[in-house]
Amino acid sequence: MNSKSIDIEASAGKILKVREHPNQNEGLIFEKSAPGKRGMELPPLDVPAVDPVKALGSEFTRDAIEGFPEVSEIEVIRHFTRLSTWNYAIDLGMYPLGSCTMKYNPRVNEFVARLDGLATEHPEQPAEVSQGCLRILYDLQKCLLSITGMDAATLQPVAGAQGELTGLLMIRAYLQSQGNPRKTVLIPDSAHGTNPASVVIAGYEVKNIKSNARGQIDTDHLREFCTEDVAALMLTNPSTLGVFEERIAEIAAILHERGALLYMDGANMNALAGVTRPGDFGVDVMHLNLHKTFSTPHGGGGPGAGPVLVKRILEPFLPVPVVLQKEDGKFALDFNRPKSVGRVRAYCGNFGVLLRALAYTLAYGPGMRQATEDAVLNSNYIRKKLEDVFDLPYSLPSMHEVVFSDARQKKHGVNTMDIAKRLIDYGFHPYTTAFPLIVPGAMMIEPTESESKEECDFFIEAMRSIAAEAETNPELVKTAPHSTRVGRLDEVAAARKPILRWKP
């Protein structure tokens, strides 16, 4: 069936399966549809029925939707359960995607998010009957401020990228109130792609600044670049190399001296919580990714939440509404904020995500530091156990993640993507490939605190085994994965002639 399969048994020993899957043949839901089937029934109508054509006019009505599925409940259950078996998940094992912080998603968070009285609440209902929701928001704000050392918060942004935009809009509004919004935002070359994209939407120009040979911000370079036109520096700390900016105080001072602000992308806060606070080392505005550090589930790509935390000077510019506690102890939403940047999303943001983040924070309390320590311990352990087989382009101390490169394996024609795909056969999700951009052939590994020593050891063993395979049997690695329902997919064909929907 598959000519590439012959070597697999001999080489890996334990990987016997070649693309057999218990649910190999599941098709699309539309292909199961037949007229007259349904998977959900409604209670009978308790008022007189209405003829839609009479009520609305034929020009405003439609017939039944062509091609819409008609399937029974059991078919829906089987279909989506089968699909689910084609996914990898944190619940199955280590998910070492660098910069993504794929940690355990506590189940109690899912339970409380679905409580009657929380999941059921309407965002426009009066404050008198929303005290519980408002207090959850207020309590979470207090926790996040305490963890970051900042002064004020908005929970409205629903993703890291939206948090970035919100923070930048506040910087613009603040500088405008000082007389000049300025023109550019500095971004290091190691930054996430969302940073420059957000800067543009905030109406600023991007200026890239190069990292030095150690992967850190070059402060001389910064001094030179930080002109009167610069509104802010957007910095990820620890950087995407997993390295703390040792000269962070100097960086903040250079910016502040010239009236510019320091924005911190908090994507990597999992390395810092309980150990150090951005508010203490000069950060003026930052966002957190609650779907990373605060354990809310990724759900295959969202939802997330990207609260923004600011220093006092930026507080007047927070989006509306702001959650506050009144003198009588009651909670309320404050809309009367004339200097506000406006609103980045309807209502109060992703309440259901915010609530889970609070549940996570309450579970740890001050013990959150232990989670940070374990995350840093795991990444350093993996680094130590792999640094003799993989190239380490930057040798500064690692925090929560470690970035290797494929330089040694490339000599055998095996690149970072091949190694990543081969990891799948060993039962692990790939690490992050090809990022950060400053490392050619990057292999970015973030284990998080959720991995036991045993799981880390399995991962290390898998990586070492693949490194050996790259020398002895590179073809095996280059054609991986061999254990999934489908092999490597033709992305070129997908992009040249896009098929983006099912058609009968």
- Residue 358 CB-half CA count within 13 A: 19
List the strands of the sheet with 308-310, edge to edge.
Answer: 152-154, 308-310, 285-288, 261-266, 230-236, 184-188, 205-209
CB-count exposure of residue 30 (10 Å: 0-12, 13-18, 19+): middle
Can you tell me the distance from the alpha carbon of 129 to that of 127, in angstroms, rounded to the nearest whole number?
Answer: 5
As measured in angstroms, the least distance from the Cβ of 8 to other proteins is 15
Q: How far is the CB of 338 from other proteins (least distance, A)?
A: 14
Min separation Cβ 393 and other proteins, Å: 16
Site string for other proteins, 321-340 (x = CB under 8 A): --------------------
Cα angle, residue 162 at apex, residues 160 and 165 outer, rounded to 5°: 115
Q: Mention every residue, 6+ apart, whose C-beta is less than 8 A from residue 294.
A: 288, 356, 357, 360, 361
55 interacts with other proteins by CB under 8 A = yes
What are the residues facing 187 on neighbouring strands? 208
Distance CA 314, CA 303 (A): 27
- Contact 358/433 with Cβ under 8 angstroms? no
Closest by CA to 319, choosing from 302, 300, 341, is 341
**What is the smallest separation between the CB atom of 261 and other proteins, expressed in angstroms?**
16
Among 6, 132, 256, 324, binds other proteins (CB under 8 A): 132
Among 224, 299, 312, 325, binds other proteins (CB under 8 A): 299
Position among 10, 14, 64, 329 found at the interface with other proteins (CB under 8 A)? 64
Q: Does 127 bind other proteins (CB under 8 A)?
A: no
Peptide bond connecting 366 to the previous residue in cis, omega within 30 degrees of 0: no
User: Segment contacting other proteins (CB under 8 A): 115-123, 253-261, 405-413, 461-469?
Assistant: 115-123
Site for other proteins in 10-39 (CB under 8 A): 19, 28-30, 36-39
Binding to other proteins, residues 339-378 (CB under 8 A): 341-353, 355, 359, 361-371, 373-374, 376-378
Residue in 16, 115, 324, 468 binding other proteins, rule: CB under 8 A: 115
Query: What tokens were used for 143?
Result: 């926790």
Closest CA to 255 of 277, 293, 237, 281: 281
Q: Is there binding between residue 143 and other proteins (CB under 8 A)?
A: yes
Site for other proteins in 429-468 (CB under 8 A): 429-430, 434-435, 449-453, 455-456
Considering only 223-231, 244-252, 401-409, 465-473, which stretch makes contact with other proteins by CB under 8 A? 244-252
Q: By rule CB under 8 A, what string of x and - marks binding of each residue 245-284 to other proteins?
A: -x-xx----------------------xxxxxx--xx---
What are the φ and ψ backbone dihedral angles of 332, each rounded to 5 degrees?
Answer: -155, 165
DSSP structure class, residue 63: -
CB of 61 to other proteins, least distance (A): 6
CA nearest 437: which of 408, 416, 467, 421?
Answer: 416
Between helices 416-425 and 453-472, what is the axis angle to 10°?
120
Stretch of residues binding other proteins (CB under 8 A), selected from 226-234, 404-412, 467-475, 482-490: 482-490
Q: Tell me how many residues contact other proteins (CB under 8 A).
A: 204
Closer by beta carbon to other proteins, 328 or else 490: 490
Closer to other proteins by Cβ: residue 181 or 474: 181
Which among 118-126, 217-225, 226-234, 403-411 is the span making contact with other proteins, rule CB under 8 A? 118-126
Q: 197 to 226, contacts with other proteins by CB under 8 A?
A: 197-203, 206
* Cβ 354 to other proteins shortest distance, Å: 9
